Each structure stands twice: as structure tokens, then as C-alpha cells.
Amino acid sequence: MTTFAQTKPSLIAAVAVAASLFMAAAAQAQPVMKDGVLADPSGRTVYTFDKDEANKSNCAGGCLAKWPAFVAKAEAQAQGEFGVIEANGVRQWTYNSQPLYYFAGDAKPGDRNGDGMGGVWHVVGEKPAAKTSSSYKY
């Protein structure tokens, strides 16, 4: 017989995956600078991935489960350093041609738990950080 204590970690993981899928599915307006970093209009931090190419996402499958795309609204228009690309079946925001993502490990607006992860995931600050090379996958 399986107890709640045995299924609790699976339940928590399922809720985290569902939340990240919801974030990816919920189209957003253009990102804004909040508390020194780029975020969605509600304050959730967005990130760039060093392994992406200009206007091309290289995050798919398991990567997108941890790093959901920052999805643009259907009517979103590119302005200034912001752009919109078609990636993985959605319209995804970019900043200076770099696709933007959420981190599933951020629980609330203002969290920055993914910054520096694997040396390849970064918040976009008012002064961009230098890119580093790493064998980190996602």
C-alpha cells in the first residue's frame, strides 16, 4: 500500500511541471526591467541560454521542462532590443536576439534561482554578464 508520504515527492514534481507548462503557455507582454533584471510584467525573472544562437532557441525537450520559453502574445510587436521568434511551436520573446526563458525553480516573482546555473543560464541585468563556456546541458 502506498502512503501519501511516499507519493508526496511525485506530487510536488507534478505540480512543478504543471506550473512551468502554465508559465510557458501563458502568453506575456514585452519584458520589463524590474529590480535590476529583465522580468515579465508580473515580476518573474527571465533568463538567456549561452548555447542559443542569435534568434534561434537550442532549448528543447527536457530543457524546456526546466526552462519554459517566455512566450509572446499573438499581437506582440518587436521594439528596440526586443524581438519575437518562432521556436518550439510558440512565439518566444528575445532580447538582443537572445531567446528568453523562465526557470521552473523560481517559485515567485523576484526569484533568481537559475542565474549562473551550469555557467550557461543568466539573468539579463542592466549591465549584461560576460558569457562563459561550459559543458552544462540544461
Dump the DSSP string for the chain: ---HHHHHHHHHHHHHHHHHHHHHHS-BPPPEEETTEEE-TTS-B-EEETT-BTTB----THHHHHS-B-BBPTT---BTTEEEEEETTEEEEEETTEE-B--TT--STT--TTTTGGGTEEE-BSSPPPP-------
pLDDT at 5: 56
* Cβ atoms of residues 92 and 85 within 8 Å: yes
pLDDT at 13: 42
pLDDT tens track, the chain, 138 positions = 555 555 555 444 443 444 444 444 466 788 899 999 999 999 999 999 999 999 999 999 999 999 999 999 988 888 899 999 999 999 999 999 999 999 999 999 999 999 999 999 999 997 644 444 455 566
pLDDT at 138: 60
> What does the alpha-carbon distance between residue 104 and residue 63 come to, in Å, rounded to a whole number?
10
> What does the alpha-carbon distance between residue 70 and residue 93 come to, in Å, rounded to a whole number?
6
pLDDT at 127: 62
pLDDT at 64: 96
pLDDT at 78: 86
pTM across the whole model: 0.74
pLDDT at 68: 97
pLDDT at 126: 73
